[in-house]
Structure formats: C-alpha cells, structure tokens
Structure 1
Amino acid sequence: MLTMDHLCPYPIIQAPMAGGATTPELVAAVSNAGGLGSLAAPLLSPLAIIEQAEHIRRLTDKPFAINLFVQARPTIDFAALESAKLLLQPVCQELGWEALPTPTRWCEDFESQLDALITAHPAMASFTFDVLHGSQMQRLHDAGILVVGTATNLQEAIVWQAIGADAVCLQGVEAGGHRGTFIGAQQASTLGTMALLKACLPHMQIPLIAAGGIMDGHDIAAMRAAGAQWVQMGTAFLTTLESGISSAYKQRLLQAESDTTRQTRAFSGRYARGLDNRFMQLMAGVAEQVPAYPVQNALTGSIRAAAAKENNTELMSLWCGQGVARSKEISVADLMAELVRDMQTA
C-alpha cells in the first residue's frame, strides 16, 4: 500500500480550498511539480467529484488528494430560518434586494460524496469539520486510499490517530478559510501552527502536517525542523495562474500589504478567516447569532454569487490566511521551484 512517504518527492501539500479555487489544472500542476495537489470537493456533487478527478488524471499521472467536509444534512426550523434571513437584510439592501431567497439545497449528501470519492480513487483523502466513523475509515483503507484528518487542538489529533488515520493535518489559527474544530468551541482553539505542532508532537505516532501561515520555503524548513513531516499551503496557491478564484479576488489578495484578515461566522455559520470587508462589517453585530453551517452558508450563497458576478469584493468571502501580504502572481511550476529551492537552502 502507498504510504505518506511515497506520495511525492517534496513534503508540500496544496491545501484544498472549496468554492472553485482548486481547479483540476491547479491540482495537476502541483502534483506534476513534485508536491501533492488537492481537490476541494465539499461543495461538489458526487458526479462532479468523479468528473473532476478524471480531468485531473488527464493532466497528470502523479498522486493527488480529494477533500470533503464531514457533515450531516441539517433539520430546518423554518421559523428560525426567517429570523436568520432578517439578519442578512442589511447586506440585501446593499445589493438592492427586497428579500433574501430561500435556498433549494442546504448541502451535499456526505455518504454519496464519500461513495464518489472512493470511486474516484485518489491516493489520499482528507477530511475536516468532524471525524469519520470506523466503518468509513475501513472502506477507504480497503480501497487503498490514505486518510488524513484535520485537527485544531490536541484532543482532535488524538481522536484521529486512535481511529486509524494515516496522518493528521494540524491547522493553526493563522490558516485561511474554514477551521476544522470538532471538539470544543471553535473560538477556544486558538493555538498558532507552531504552538499546536509542539503541543501534539509528544502524543503522536503518525505523521503530522503543519498548516497555517506557511508561505515560503523558509517557513517550510522551520516547520520541518520543529517536527512536521509535511506542510499544507493554501494562500500561497490562491494567486497562482492556475487558481480558479476570480481576478477581482486575486487582486485583493495581491494588494494586501499587511494582515487585514479576521475570522467570522457571518458567511457560513462556522468560523473562517478572510480579508475584512463590507460584508463582515455589516454583519459584525450579529455574527454570533447566525445559524450554524451549512444553513448560513446556503443562505449567503445567492449573495456571494451576485457579488462575484458584479466583481464586488466587498460582499464576497475573500478567504485567505494571515500570510496574505506575501502573496505573489506566479505559475504553480515557478512557485513550487521557489519553495523547494528555499526549503533546501534554509
């Protein structure tokens, strides 16, 4: 069976970033350059997961990963839903809408997505937001797929190790986008990447992947020296030529001269880090009242789609990590060459 050590030449995993950033072209380019590309599939239908995996295979014969959110379909309280829609009224007014439309779909069915992932058969599957059941882990291992869990605190890392994960991705508070907390309150998991790595190392016998705030080869070398076998990098790949985010979103990232990110529940009902903008500011007073993921994420879907169509970055979710000021416009091949060179000389 494939092991973590034999996945690829360099210990660099491109973070799965849901919402269209991780195009097949991006995933394949990372794998072709000696890293491990990752397809973010949480928002994809089962058929789309299989199709995108096949697209990646047309572009590379190297290993790649697929990521899913571990989630259950929500039970909808329609009275509470109307209250939740009213919380978004200030944002609707910015768009000139009288009212927010009610979504027709709340999230994809996780079991169906997992079936599709196993059919797609990536070298590695990674999971966040919760932990797998033992039977799900067994199915993945029986299929010869390596399993990586996400942890934001020591207890979560221990649970993933106990259930049989092949590695754990330690997600520090610096990380962009959603955080994977599933034990304790999200706001209680406040450790940075290096501190989280040091807290977990004495208790772990499986490989650890450091994620959050890692932007260059010197950062990679520092994490490896501290005990991480791998790093996972997201923000650095968002501004590559192969990234699927809009040009307006890319420009906002490239223009960032300092860390202007913060965490908010307002977009999705789950804490996620991105550039501060008008949406966050309008929702700041009620962000703790919005419904949990995936309900809030579905409610804001039409807002984010309309904002994207208008290139209105003030109402888009501009997910990125605290290292955003070091973003650069570059091809994946050139970025990977820089990372490897600087990692080896650091």
Structure 2
Amino acid sequence: MTILDLAIPVIAAPMAGGPTTPDLVVAASEAGGLGFLAAGYKTPEALADHINDVRSRTDTFGVNLFAPRPVPVDPAAYAAYRERIRADAERLQADVPEVPREDDDAWAAKLGLLVADPVPLVSFTFGIPSAREIKRLRDVGTITAQTVTTADEARAGAEAGVDLLVVQAPAAGGHSGTLSPARIPRDRPLNDLVAEIAATTVLPLIAAGGIMTSADARAALDHGASAVAVGTALLLAPEAGTSAAHRDALLGPDRGPTVMTRAFSGRPARAIPNAFLTEHHEEAPSGYPAIHHLTSPMRKAAAAAGDPEHVNLWAGAGYRQARERPAADTLRAIAAGL
C-alpha cells in the first residue's frame, strides 16, 4: 500500500487491552479504511498470531507499538498507592504486587518480529523510537507513523524519520500519547491542534480524538488532516472485544463527563467515571508501567465478575454517541460525504 491509499479516509484506532480484535481490523479494511492491531500488553507470540490471522483476510492493516518511554514510579508513592487500593483488590480476590514492575512491553522482540515479518504500517505511541529503529522498518517496506499531541512532538517525530503523524487531541479515549506523561494534557480542540501542526510539516496527518460523526471527520480534514482515526465510536461494535462491564457502562445511565486520570495506569488516560476512579483519581501517582501492573489483577478480576466499578472504562469525550452496530457500518457512516 502507498501512504493513505484508502477508499475512505477513516481508520480504526488501536485500542489495547481487549477492544481491538483481528475481526475489528478486518472489518475496517472491508469498509474501505484501515485498522490497527494493538500490540500493547500482548506477548510477541500473541501479536504474531493476530498478524497472521488478519493477513489471511486482508493486506490493508497496521500494528501499533508502545515505544519505550518509561516513567519510573517513586517507591514510596507506589507503596502508599498500593495500600490505598488494597481493599478494592482484596474484595475481588486480586493480587496487589508489592514490588513495582518496570518493563518495556517486549519492545525489542516486537520490533524484531515486525522487521522479520513486515506489515504495511506501524505506528508508535508513548515514545519516539530512534532514527535507526524507524529506518529498520522503512527498509523492509513498512510505512511508519508517530502519535503526537503537540507541535513540538510533531517536529521530533518528523526529525526521527517517520512517514506520517497521528495527531491525538486530549478528547481521545484511553491513554494519551503525550511524551510528557508527568503532566495531565490540557484540553485543546482537535481541529486547532491539527491546523497548528499542519502549518509546520509536509507529512500527512491522521486526526484522532473526538471523531464520532461525519461532521467531526469533515472538520478535521478541512483543518489539514488527510484521514481520521476513530476508537470510542467502535467500542460497541460486535467485532470489538470490549468487555461486558465496559459495554454496560457505555449503554447504561449517564455517568457524566469523562476524566483524564492516572488512577488505573500511572499515565494520563481518559475514562468514564466509576467508583475506583472517583475514589483514587486525586491521589494516583505518576508511574508507568508500574501502576498499570499494580492495578491490572484487580481490573481483570472486575471484568471477569462483570463489575464496571473497578475496571478502566476507557472512552473518549463523545462516548454517549457510540452505537451498537457493525464496525463497517460505523466507519462508512463517518466517511459519508467526505
């Protein structure tokens, strides 16, 4: 594929932790767009299996990697937060790891897999790989994209040698791709951010964060984007791996505006409010991936129990507009008239 050579300029954003499935990625391709497999939290072996599954059905897809940019947790802050959440975890019979776990999500192994078995497109989130690492992928024919949240990050991504920029606004659900995770990103309209970055680079831009309708997509394209990426709009699709507890929260009574929080992972991420977020949002320390690994057993136990109050209900600011319908229908609706 060539850069953004798509029938519709609408992309299914990668949603790590379950919502993105091979079926969702294939549905995006069948709609005329493109879907990203989310490599985050998967083993290299599981990622390889998902790539093989998708490749057997389409040759238009991408893979998103968490590029290493660790935020080491302060040991005292970790211990204090562990004590704060212990009762929540124990009610669900979940572990609360005593020793902080710091890792890089098997970065080298996943990068090696994608160099040895190339895919059409690879994007990076959380950090910017070295120019050498980006070149390794480009040398095997892979198009590369960097998630950015500011004009300075966009310049850094371009200087590293990527082909595309994914411009992510704070309205996006789930983790912010900010390179400065010690600070909660300030609210800023997607279109203002796209226009600012478009004025500083010749690289094609994919706009992400708050795209729920055709009007949203049209506005982003008018401000300089070449395509848009959607995530929250697909959470209720039958092809999505969204947990039952997460679906219930999306469909249930209005819980109010989403919140950018560190409560679940130690990194800024936008979520629908629930009991855990409300209780721990203010005290949650910065520290990724240690806080992610600390709360992960509790969140998995809550999801298995159908408990929406102790899982990360990632969602963008427009989550009330999400609909239960096939992913391809949602993507085509957003692309209508573009």
Deviates more, 1:118-127 or 1:200-209: 118-127
**Are 1:84 and 1:291, in contact at CA under 8 Å, matched by a contact in 2?**
no
Taking the aligned partners of 1:160 and 1:76, their CA distance within structure 2 comes to 26
Instruction: Flag structure 1 segments of 5+ consecutive residues without an equivalent.
Output: none
SS at structure 2 position matched to 1:4: coil
1:13-48 C-alpha deviation (Å, 9 max, x unpaired): 111000011111111111111111110011111111
What percent of counterpart residues are identical?
Answer: 34
Matched, 1:194 2:178: no
1:245-287 C-alpha deviation (Å, 9 max, x unpaired): 1123112113365852101101000000010000111213312
SS at structure 2 position matched to 1:28: helix
Structure 1 residues 55 and 280: alpha-carbon distance in aligned structure 2, compared to 1, 3 A threshold: same
In the alignment, which residue of structure 2 is the partner of 1:115? 112
1:160-206 C-alpha deviation (Å, 9 max, x unpaired): 11111111111111100000111485324432211111221210110
**Are 1:148 and 1:166, in contact at CA under 8 Å, matched by a contact in 2?**
yes
Instruction: Flag structure 2 segments of 5+ consecutive residues without an equivalent.
Output: none
- CA deviation after TM superposition for structure 1 residue 93, in Å: 5.2
**Are 1:259 and 1:322, in contact at CA under 8 Å, matched by a contact in 2?**
no
State which of 312, 316, 333 in structure 1 corresponds to 2:311.
316
Structure 1 residues 204 and 77: alpha-carbon distance in aligned structure 2, compared to 1, 3 A threshold: closer
- CA deviation after TM superposition for structure 1 residue 336, in Å: 2.5
In the alignment, which residue of structure 2 is the partner of 1:56? 54
In the alignment, which residue of structure 2 is the partner of 1:159? 156
SS at structure 1 position matched to 2:4: helix
**Are 1:127 and 1:150, in contact at CA under 8 Å, matched by a contact in 2?**
yes
State which of 290, 297, 303 in structure 1 corresponds to 2:298.
303
Give the letter for the 2:162 counterpart.
A
Give the letter for the 2:48 counterpart.
I
Give the letter for the 2:130 counterpart.
H
Taking the aligned partners of 1:147 and 1:94, their CA distance within structure 2 comes to 44
In the alignment, which residue of structure 2 is the partner of 1:228? 225
State which of 73, 84, 96 in structure 2 corresponds to 1:100.
96
Taking the aligned partners of 2:222 and 2:73, their CA distance within structure 1 comes to 47
Taking the aligned partners of 1:180 and 1:74, their CA distance within structure 2 comes to 13
SS at structure 2 position matched to 1:333: helix
In the alignment, which residue of structure 2 is the partner of 1:173? 170
C-alpha RMSD of the superposition: 2.2
- CA deviation after TM superposition for structure 1 residue 131, in Å: 0.6
State which of 70, 83, 86 in structure 2 corresponds to 1:86.
83
Structure 1 residues 256 and 114: alpha-carbon distance in aligned structure 2, compared to 1, 3 A threshold: farther
- CA deviation after TM superposition for structure 1 residue 61, in Å: 2.3
When normalised by structure 2's length, the TM-score is 0.92
State which of 27, 32, 35 in structure 2 corresponds to 1:34.
32
SS at structure 2 position matched to 1:17: coil
- CA deviation after TM superposition for structure 1 residue 229, in Å: 0.6
Structure 1 residues 79 and 4: alpha-carbon distance in aligned structure 2, compared to 1, 3 A threshold: same
1:280-332 C-alpha deviation (Å, 9 max, x unpaired): 11213312xx2511000000010001101110000000001001010100011
In the alignment, which residue of structure 2 is the partner of 1:66? 63
**Are 1:268 and 1:300, in contact at CA under 8 Å, matched by a contact in 2?**
yes
**Are 2:72 and 2:102, in contact at CA under 8 Å, matched by a contact in 1?**
no
Structure 1 residues 170 and 75: alpha-carbon distance in aligned structure 2, compared to 1, 3 A threshold: closer
Structure 1 residues 184 and 320: alpha-carbon distance in aligned structure 2, compared to 1, 3 A threshold: closer
Deviates more, 1:294-303 or 1:116-125: 116-125
Taking the aligned partners of 1:272 and 1:184, their CA distance within structure 2 comes to 10
Give the letter for the 1:53 counterpart.
I
Taking the aligned partners of 1:255 and 1:167, their CA distance within structure 2 comes to 37
- CA deviation after TM superposition for structure 1 residue 90, in Å: 4.2
Deviates more, 1:202-211 or 1:176-185: 176-185
SS at structure 2 position matched to 1:147: strand
Deviates more, 1:43-52 or 1:253-262: 253-262
Q: Which has the higher contact order (CA 8 A, sep 6+)?
A: 2
Structure 1 residues 105 and 54: alpha-carbon distance in aligned structure 2, compared to 1, 3 A threshold: farther
Structure 1 residues 120 and 279: alpha-carbon distance in aligned structure 2, compared to 1, 3 A threshold: farther
- CA deviation after TM superposition for structure 1 residue 94, in Å: 4.5
Matched, 1:252 2:238: no
**Are 1:259 and 1:324, in contact at CA under 8 Å, matched by a contact in 2?**
no
- CA deviation after TM superposition for structure 1 residue 86, in Å: 1.4
Deviates more, 1:141-150 or 1:181-190: 181-190
**Are 1:259 and 1:323, in contact at CA under 8 Å, matched by a contact in 2?**
no
When normalised by structure 1's length, the TM-score is 0.90
